[in-house]
Structure 1
Amino acid sequence: MVGACVKGHRLVLISEPISGSQHQVEKATDSWLKWQLIVMGGVVVLVAIIVDWLNYRSEVSTPETERDFGRRKFRDCVRRNMEVTGARVAVKILKSGSDRGIKDYIAEVKSLSQLRHRNLVALIGCCHKKDKFALVYEFMSQGSLGDHLFKDRPLLPWEKRYNIALGLGSAVHYLQKGGNQCMIHRDIKSNNIMLNENFEAKLGDFSTARPVDRTRGPEATEAVETIGYMAPEYVQKGEASKESDVFSFGVVLLEIVCWKCVLDSELRERGLNLVQWVWEHYGSPSLAGRGQFSLRWRKKFLEVVDTGLCKDFDKKQAEALLIVGLWCTHPIAASRPTIEEAMDVLNFKKKPPKLSTQEPR
């Protein structure tokens, strides 16, 4: 080893060969440093994964909904008509990457996890990843009532139509009276009424459903329902209630009888919607005198029944559906029937009421 002094500092120059033991020490030191870097890198990656997972969990779940998500959770998003335990299923994919999609997903899982009824579409399971949300339902082979109403499908015979009306009424009754908590759907419409292979009606799409206190009045919420099916107080004030669901139920009853959309294009050209058009034909039942409606009045009133049926329908049932439909769509919420009163008329436990002789505006 040779030494030299540079400005007060000793500069050491290596001139002798390094021994074998020194090589081993340097090699061991390099190896230890490499392992330290690998471990540190692994810790960083693991922490990042944990943070990402926690963020994801906070986006799609809360402690209140853990039980709901655990009902039947699929690992991957499934395709429509896939086989699950030998049964066909339908899959609803919600919008990803938005707060609304996450909220709708959570709301629908929570709502349907608490509900069990033959006239509600059954939720089989769910699947959620950070950017994908899927709900798996029982498969409804006949599509929606809206498909039959508004698309080129064969007309449904009267018996099936009346049973669809009764099935929908049964679903609404269960939501308001049959469960542990009153539930308002907030989007009852033909496109959300699904039909199975026997044309039994099942109400679906609970992404907007909300539980309410049975003893309290309407609650102000964001209006989410479809134009034409919305009660006036819901449109004007955003007040959703049992009564606003009854209004939507009444609109669907009129669509079933008349086989027209509530916003039928031909009626709109005349400045009318379906409810107003039926009121025109209802006119004044006072022509009947006391006790019963007149045959002349009934003939005029039943002119609104779908002409595609070629008069092959039960006149008593048609009259009941039309009157209940108008009763349910009264513009004043307090003047509408309860769902029990409406169903009593449709099941012929009570006679149809005589409504006001003036069309409500």
Structure 2
Amino acid sequence: MRPRTSIVIIFFLLAIFGFLNPIPTLLAASLPVDLEFPSFTLRNFTLLGDSCLKNGVVGLTRSTAVPSSSAGAIIYNQPIPLFDLSSNTSSSFSTRFSFSIERANPSSYGDGLAFFLSPTSDTLGSAGGCLGLVNASRLTRNKFVAVEFDTRLDPSLNDPNENHVGLDVDSTISIKTGDAILEGIDLKSGSLITAWIEYRSDKRNLNVWLSYSSFKKPEKPILSVDVDLSDHLKEEMYLGFSGSTEGSTELHQIMNWRFQSFGFVPARPSSMNPHNVSDSSVTSTTVSVGIPKRDSRKKHDKRIQLGISIAGPAFFCAVLSVLGYITVRRWRGIRKQRSFKTEFVACPREFNYKELKSATKGFHPSRVVGNGSFGTVYKAFFISSGTIAAVKKSRHSHEGETEFLAELSIIAGLRHKNLVQLQGWCVEKGELLLVYDFMPNGSLDKILYQESERSNLLNWSHRLNIAIGVASVVGYLHQECEQRVIHRDIKTANILLDANFNPRLGDFGLAKLMDHDKSPVSTLTAGTMGYLAPEYLQYGKATEKTDVFSYGVVVLEVACGRRPIEREGQKMVNLVDWVWGLHSEGRIIEAADKRLNGEFEEEGMRKLLLLGLSCANPDSAERPSMRRVLQILNNEASALAVPKVKPSLTFSYGLPLTIDEIVSDAEDFHTSQQSLCEIKIN
């Protein structure tokens, strides 16, 4: 062991046994906090997701000309102490901020924003009713206390209306809500609104006020909740704001913010402080009576000797325990790392963890460019070589390790011009990392939707090239590999675009290998709703035909510029149904993306739309193979006949009842509630 390590361990143990004075900073942590920001800067805050900063004002959601789904957050960089373990006391706090919520057009609405306190600083939840607070596929993962300002009525969340304030604890189903309209406040009016939130730990009460005036807090709170938050406030909490939309365009802006906490005032024994006066106002004096100083010193020396005789053996036992623990941890880590490395003998380069951490600025949230099926993707700058790469960081879970190994073992042996190229991997510090070529134009879904101001970059030739490229690589996976590769998660978010807008298929975390002469086996359904074939939802068997269905949906997205499932008014519209409806009326060409301004080959567009419907046929037997799809696109084979009326199938089996039970976005659910019912695919 190195001398410095020994000194650190001994110093730490001395502190534990009380030979050192308490660290002054621990005392400072209990002091009140007073933060005030008339405007925002990146010096003090971190932006996540679609949030942006302009002229000192925070925009939580993306400003687009067309409806889209968006989620963003801004978090104060330093954690705030809000709970004291020694006194088991939570701090009271108050906050004031001004915000505005504006609809881009009268038909656009939802979902709202929230002020939150969270024990972590790097997690952004899903869009829609999740308000950027929770992950739609892992509803119990994120922990938080939040006050929501909700502008959408969602019956599944027990919302009273589309203009309310609510207290949320670890869930976006509010503990209690208050009606803003009753107090004359229209949250989505676009006007500047000031909110005051106060929590009194001694009274176990939280109040929220709203006003169009930023100078005077109203007398009557819009929401008053009797609640004890001490179980939810950790020693240190991160503070921030989040907002989201789902299939709509709503602008959420935060103009200024002030936050105050009031420290911890633990109860003192009455004998020590009979008048309940704080130490800061009274100087205490200790008087010794009837004990000579020399006798007192002797007794003190005896106590020290007794303490040393007891603490000495305990001290050395503790040293041995710590050293043994460190040794075992290192041995287990090395053994685990070696076991992983035996899997990677035939794989590309092994990267150094320190190199990847430096290239991603310590995996900073500002470097996040997306989320794969098993973790987060970061943009990495390698200063030594001047190159850029994408680094995927696994979740710390058994599923994360499984998907990491699946992706690495599958993609390391694949070579195709329309696949994202794997550069290497790293297993260090308990992290599982994959390094890929960086795609400068990002994912296809961002070009089509989230960054709609750039969607005009995808002209007709780009879109046709994307359809051909993806068909080529999926055909390669199905027919040209030694073992068939079933991707199981083909969607626009997993199709990346290089500098010339050539498509590259990525994210093999859910992929399955299958011998060419073997039948598929049933598995837990995984993937993304809107891309899942009906028979896959029913039987859980992933085949080439389920990938073909997903490809068909992607083709329709590329041609139409619409999401697989979109909200129109109070109902959800399925893209396949919508295009098939136009086809049945002889108006299929009207499905073409309006942003193309008619600049496309009409016959080519018609063929692409019909091909998408052929691939998304509810009857898997009627879907073409990917080889046939590629031949049709290259004018080497005639197109398939598409019936005017969408075929209908009827299944009668035990089916999951909710979308969350049917589909896991890159995660397998281990339990699901079953019920006998009938589902009809029209």
User: Which amino acid in the other structure matches residue 74 of structure 1?
Assistant: N
Provide Cα deviations, 1:207-241, integer angstroms capped at 9, x if missing partner. 11111122233321222210000111111221101
Give matches, 1:1-361, under 5 Å: 48=328, 51-53=331-333, 55-57=335-337, 61=340, 63=342, 65-68=343-346, 71-76=349-354, 77-78=356-357, 79=360, 80-83=379-382, 85-96=385-396, 98-153=397-452, 154=454, 155=456, 156-266=458-568, 269-283=570-584, 297=586, 300-360=587-647, 361=682
Give per-residue Cα distances to partners, 1:311-338, cap 9 Å, x unaligned: 1111122112111111111112111110
Look up the equivalent residue of 1:61 and give its one-letter code.
F
Q: Aligned partners of 1:164, 1:203: CA distance in 2, in Å?
A: 10
Kept in 2, the 8 Å contact 1:253–1:321? The answer is yes
Greater strand proportion: 2
Pick which of 67-76 and 232-241 moved more. 67-76
Is this contact kept in 1: 2:333–2:430, CA < 8 A? no
Query: What code does the residue aligned with 1:311 have?
Result: G
2:111 is matched with none
- How far apart in 2 are the matches of 1:332 and 1:85? 51
Q: CA deviation at 1:271?
A: 4.8
Q: List runs of 5+ in structure 2 lacking aligned partners.
A: 1-316, 361-378, 648-681
Query: Deviations along 1:220-268, whole A, 9 cap, x unmatched?
Result: 12222100001111112211011100110000000000000001222x8
Q: What amino acid sits opposite 2:518 in the alignment?
A: R
Q: Deviations over 1:107-129 (max 9, x none)?
A: 11111111111100011111122
User: Residue 208 of structure 1 aligns to a residue in which SS?
Assistant: coil
Deviation, structure 1 residue 187: 0.3
C-alpha displacement at 1:62, in angstroms?
7.2
Aligned-partner SS, 2:391: strand
Q: Check 1:271–1:136 CA distance in 2 against 1; reply closer, same or farther (3 A cut).
A: closer
TM-score, with structure 2 as normaliser: 0.42
User: Structure 1 residues 215 and 92 mapped into 2: Cα distance closer, same or farther (>3 Å)?
Assistant: same
Q: 1: CA distance between counterparts of 2:347 and 2:404?
A: 10
The one-letter amino acid paired with 1:277 is W
**1:356 to partner: Cα distance:** 2.1
Tell me if structure 1 keeps the 8 A contact 2:615–2:624.
yes
**Could you say what secondary structure the match of 1:114 adopts?**
coil
Tell me which amino acid in the other structure corresponds to 2:388.
R
1:271-305 CA distance string (max 9 Å, x none): 53000001101117xxxxxxxxxxxx3xx110000
1:81 deviates by 2.9
Greater helix percent: which structure?
Answer: 1
8 A contact 2:416–2:473 mirrored in 1:
yes
Q: How many pairs align? A: 305
Checking the alignment, whether the CA contact within 8 Å between 2:463 and 2:558 is kept in structure 1 is yes
- TM-score w.r.t. the length of structure 1 is 0.78
Q: Any stretches of 5+ residues in structure 1 without a counterpart?
A: 1-36, 285-296
**1:130 and 1:107, CA in 2 relative to 1: closer, same or farther beyond 3 A?**
farther
**Identity within the alignment, %:** 33
Structure 2 Cα separation of the partners of residues 327 and 112 of structure 1: 29
Q: SS at the partner of 1:133? A: strand
Which residue identity lines up with residue 415 of structure 2 in the other structure? R
Asked if the contact 1:56/1:130 (under 8 Å) is kept, the reply is no
C-alpha distance 248-44 of structure 1, shift in aligned 2 (>3 A)? same
- SS of the residue corresponding to residue 380 of structure 2 reads coil
Alpha-carbon deviation of 1:343?
1.2
